[in-house]
Structure 1
Amino acid sequence: MASQVLRGVSDVVAYIDARPSIRGRAAWIWWLALGGLFLDAFSNSALSAGLGPMTSELELEPTQVALLTSMASWIALVFNPIGGWMADRFGRVPPLILAKIIALIGALLAAFAPSFELVVAGRFFVGAAYGIDFAIAMAVLAEFTPAKFRSRLNTWQGIWYTAVSSNLILAIGFYNLDVGDAIWRWALGSAGVVALGLLVLQAWKLVESPTWYARKARLDRAADSMSKIYGEPFVAAAAEDRFPVVNLANRGAANIALIFRGIYLPRTILAATVQMGQSIQYFAVGWYLPIISIAIFGEGNFVLATVGTLIFNVFGIIGGFSSPFIAGKLGLRKASAVGFSLVFVMLLILGFFFDSMPLWLAFIVPSLFILFHSGGPGANGKSLSTLSFRSELRAGANGIIGAIGSLGAALGLMVFPILKEDLGLGPTFLILAVVPLAAAIVCWVIKWEPTRTEVSPDEELDAPQFAADKVVTSQEESV
């Protein structure tokens, strides 16, 4: 078989975009990247499923619950941009593997912790792993997804709710084993098992992104990656025949300044708004569904309350796996605007009528909240940031925008238990309703839609650049 010659970034992008599907080694890489997101959701929700028993066993105050539940998000806020910088500087694979090692340490430390302080320490490692992994995994998905399948990046949302539901099923299983209030230790420990399995599989199957190599002017390495991934021979063109790398960002961590300039600025505002808005509403309401479920079904029946939460999350699975179809029809921006608007209505209903609505309605409204969230903005913030920037900026941009999302998550996790304690559930829902309303307005105003553009961000000639950027045509590595 004759070797295919790669002359530059455009050849790599064109080959990947021309693929009729995601198969072979590329499919392994794609699903293993999603597997990392499964772990992130599983690790985060492991604490949610056992929060009530943990509060009882460790005799936690509301402020301690707020600190513990928000710890991973505060740490992710810091490690999101660190992970993005690592991926743009050193490649996608090494930090993904590192994230699994950190997640394993965090799970074991929290599961066997004898005190509140060591549980918090374990959640520190979980947050670091989450922060590093999420920005990079989304970049990997984008760089292995043909253009016509861009909306499939939203599949991660269905994976998220599948992970959360898996935790709830395990919680019911652990409860039936009569482990008592120690159920939370089993839930946190199971995240370590998932982390270990993913660590082995990712170390075995992952291959470095050829698009990242090409954008770094390392075309020989890009050709090697393409050969491994697609099972066809690829070679780099001779130096004089290569296309120059235009708009190359080669200033390390300073590259991030570019996402706040030119055509990138409104994209950054849109993606950050969707990311922060969905994070606040999910982590203030969706993450606390076990607590809300207990308020609906009563504190005396752990299994019934957990099953209720599981059914809520089934709506998340339906919405999450429908999200690629919805985004394909409406676009990421419009799907976010519609989803935020519907979530706003659900929060108003919960706010005004939670204490007086019949049981069936108290069950339906949170279910619809999760459906509208997961089918709309839940997935779209990360997909918007992933698809809006060129390769050497992509993970870094995901890191910054992901940090903004983590800030929203931390605020939601801290605010909900405090407001609930002081004001009750109804007023808390009304206060939180401001978030999706504001986010919906931004989504209607900013018109950027990455799933409707014909030019890849890696090939945009009018993209922001540094005045002193050089054009790279050789095999030098840009740093």
Structure 2
Amino acid sequence: MQHSAIKIRGIDDVIAYIDSCPGIRGRAGVIWWLALGGLFLDAFSNSALSAGLGPMTRNLQLAPAKVALLTSFASWVAIAFNPIGGWMADRWGRVRPLVLAKVLAVAGALLVVFAPGFEVILAGRFFVGAAYGIDFAIAMAVLAEFTPVKLKSRLNTWQGMWYTAVCSNLLLALLFYSWDVGDTIWRYSVAATAVFGVVILLLQGLFLVESPIWLARKELLDAAAHAMTRIYGREFVAAPPAERIPVLNQARRGLANVLLIFRGVYLPRTVLAATVQIGQSIQYFAIGWYLPLISAALFGKDFVYATIGALVFNVCGIFGGFLSPLIGRKLGLRRASAFGFAAVFAMLLILGLFNGKMPMWMAVVVPSLFILFHSGGPGANGKSLSSLSFRSELRAGANGIIGALGAIGAALGLLVFPLFRAQYGLETTFLILSVVPLLASIICFAIRWDPTRTTINPDNEADAPQFKGDVPDAPGFMNPAIEKARP
């Protein structure tokens, strides 16, 4: 049966159609999973050195200070490239920066694989950090803009993908170890990153379509209608100019848009998202990223046993990560973060007070619960909160700023763990780091905003901060054609 063309008069029509969809299917589903595939690559790139860090340290004879710099360098670079990526996406759209990020990821991996020494590895990690910073700011915005409102908590799926990537790296490390490659095993792990990066680069270049919500917020309705036709397999047309409804609160001042997330109703949302993002980054990259080394300390320095131990811990991350959309739907993203931080605090206290005195089963269970509570709670929620709390032309920029704050947390976590461990020992390091989830939990309980517990859509929010000269507020509307076209 032939469907008549659906007329798009403005941003509300685009949002109404996407929200009316029962799921994320067809080309929209392909785009959604390809955006997640990019995040899988980011996790794969970040964890590639983790699995082979012990052998790499021996292979290159690295002192603790060099290990700290090497492991944290990509996160320091991401601090700058998170907001740059957000700015690029808000100015030029989502697709081109996403593809550029994959090119940088592949270039960085190849530099590390063939690096003759420490300095060239650092150069490769620069490109990896740039790719990570650009990609995360934009990919989460894409996920938010292709997700119907009733499925908001599904954004947390990225956390399950992260741990799937980490476990894939550990499994590949065991495979490469069986090839008897010795302490050069880390080069093989990074080479696998390059191969996967090329695959994702080709698929994203072929199948991604520009976000209709971003196009409509920019008042590019003809392009938005064309994108909707490609994505949803229905004919969409832009309304004649006389029928078009102007965008509410359009922010038109480039980098100055960033200031809006620190004003009015956006300020507590920014504080909440930033708290979750910084807190989860510090606790994960100080503890979770170093699980192969922690596992070696718990179970002995044999590579196979240490890797299997880290794999067991991270399987709990897969379980918690893919469970986090359900947890977020039941509790809300804010409360899920608050309870998750509190549980992580308890696990770090136990590790700090009783590590070395626990029976073997408890030495396995406690780090596993740490990862489970982290991935099921705050691990995913910082990026989801920032992606769901701001309107479209601010979304990627907000993700960039909040992502940069998270990257500072990641860099600090990666930097302080080897230094603290060398200075104070493993147990005291756990106790010092337990302060982070405790403070984050308190802040999450104190701030009340939760995008999964409100009917407000930031893209047509009347009281959102705006610049002088923006379009005046106007009542919302519903296009009858959208109602008739509900899938």
TM-score (structure 2 length as normaliser): 0.96
Rounded Cα–Cα distance in structure 2 between residues aligned with 1:227 and 1:453: 30
> Where in structure 2 are the equivalents of 1:244-255 lying within 5 Å?
244-255=246-257
Deviation at 1:471, TM superposition (A): 6.3
Describe the SS at the equivalent of 2:237.
Answer: strand
Partner of 2:221: 219
Rounded Cα–Cα distance in structure 1 between residues aligned with 2:331 and 2:460: 24
Rounded Cα–Cα distance in structure 2 between residues aligned with 1:123 and 1:186: 16
Partner of 1:293: 295
Query: Which residue identity does 2:145 align to in structure 1?
Result: E
Rounded Cα–Cα distance in structure 1 between residues aligned with 2:357 and 2:80: 42
Residue number among 263, 266, 277 corresponding to 1:264 in the alignment: 266
Partner of 1:453: 454
Partner of 1:78: 80
Query: Which residue identity does 1:115 align to in structure 2?
Result: G
Partner of 2:90: 88
Report if aligned partners of 1:93, 1:207 keep a CA contact under 8 Å in 2: yes
Partner of 2:478: none
Q: 1:116-150 deviations in whole A, cap 9, x for unaligned?
A: 11011100100000000001000000000000000
Deviation at 1:472, TM superposition (A): 12
Report if aligned partners of 2:55, 2:186 keep a CA contact under 8 Å in 1: yes
Is 1:425 paired with 2:426?
Answer: yes
Rounded Cα–Cα distance in structure 2 between residues aligned with 1:472 and 1:392: 17
RMSD: 1.0
Query: Which residue identity does 1:394 align to in structure 2?
Result: R
Report if aligned partners of 2:338, 2:441 keep a CA contact under 8 Å in 1: yes
Moved more, 440-449 or 354-363: 354-363
Describe the SS at the equivalent of 1:455.
Answer: coil
Rounded Cα–Cα distance in structure 2 between residues aligned with 1:404 and 1:128: 15
Rounded Cα–Cα distance in structure 1 between residues aligned with 2:128 and 2:472: 40
Rounded Cα–Cα distance in structure 2 between residues aligned with 1:31 and 1:193: 19
Partner of 1:313: 314
Q: 1:201-256 deviations in whole A, cap 9, x for unaligned?
A: 00000000000000001000000000000010000001111111010010001100
Deviation at 1:455, TM superposition (A): 2.3
Report if aligned partners of 2:462, 2:473 keep a CA contact under 8 Å in 1: no
Report if aligned partners of 1:343, 1:436 keep a CA contact under 8 Å in 2: yes
Report if aligned partners of 1:276, 1:405 keep a CA contact under 8 Å in 2: yes
Rounded Cα–Cα distance in structure 2 between residues aligned with 1:365 and 1:347: 9
Is 1:378 paired with 2:379?
Answer: yes
Report if aligned partners of 1:25, 1:229 keep a CA contact under 8 Å in 2: yes
Partner of 2:6: 4
Rounded Cα–Cα distance in structure 2 between residues aligned with 1:159 and 1:282: 15
Deviation at 1:259, TM superposition (A): 0.2
Report if aligned partners of 2:20, 2:148 keep a CA contact under 8 Å in 1: yes
Rounded Cα–Cα distance in structure 2 between residues aligned with 1:370 and 1:225: 39
Describe the SS at the equivalent of 2:7.
Answer: strand
Rounded Cα–Cα distance in structure 1 between residues aligned with 2:196 and 2:406: 24
Deviation at 1:361, TM superposition (A): 0.9
Count of residue pairs the alignment pairs up: 472
Rounded Cα–Cα distance in structure 2 between residues aligned with 1:203 and 1:472: 38
Is 1:23 paired with 2:25?
Answer: yes
Deviation at 1:469, TM superposition (A): 2.2
Partner of 1:403: 404
Report if aligned partners of 1:4, 1:234 keep a CA contact under 8 Å in 2: yes
Rounded Cα–Cα distance in structure 1 between residues aligned with 2:469 and 2:69: 45
Report if aligned partners of 1:217, 1:472 keep a CA contact under 8 Å in 2: no
Deviation at 1:470, TM superposition (A): 4.2
Rounded Cα–Cα distance in structure 2 between residues aligned with 1:454 and 1:356: 50
Partner of 2:109: 107
Rounded Cα–Cα distance in structure 2 between residues aligned with 1:219 and 1:258: 25
Describe the SS at the equivalent of 2:444.
Answer: helix
Query: Which residue identity does 2:341 align to in structure 1?
Result: F
Deviation at 1:447, TM superposition (A): 0.2
Report if aligned partners of 1:248, 1:471 keep a CA contact under 8 Å in 2: no
Partner of 2:484: none
Q: 1:74-124 deviations in whole A, cap 9, x for unaligned?
A: 000100000000000000000000000000000000011010110111001
Partner of 1:435: 436
Rounded Cα–Cα distance in structure 2 between residues aligned with 1:93 and 1:148: 25
Query: Which residue identity does 2:118 align to in structure 1?
Result: F
Q: 1:294-313 deviations in whole A, cap 9, x for unaligned?
A: 001111x1111101100100
Residue number among 113, 126, 129 corresponding to 1:127 in the alignment: 129
Deviation at 1:73, TM superposition (A): 0.3
Moved more, 448-457 or 437-446: 448-457
Report if aligned partners of 1:244, 1:472 keep a CA contact under 8 Å in 2: no
Report if aligned partners of 2:246, 2:471 keep a CA contact under 8 Å in 1: no
Report if aligned partners of 1:339, 1:372 keep a CA contact under 8 Å in 2: yes
Report if aligned partners of 1:244, 1:471 keep a CA contact under 8 Å in 2: no
Residue number among 165, 169, 172 corresponding to 1:170 in the alignment: 172
Tell me which stretches of 4 or more aligned residues in structure 1 moved more than 6 Å.
none
Query: Which residue identity does 1:362 align to in structure 2?
Result: A
Partner of 2:245: 243
List runs of 5+ in structure 2 lacking aligned partners.
Answer: 475-487
Rounded Cα–Cα distance in structure 2 between residues aligned with 1:133 and 1:284: 22
Partner of 2:286: 284
- Percent identity between the two aligned chains: 68
Deviation at 1:62, TM superposition (A): 0.2
TM-score (structure 1 length as normaliser): 0.98
Rounded Cα–Cα distance in structure 2 between residues aligned with 1:222 and 1:438: 43
Partner of 1:416: 417
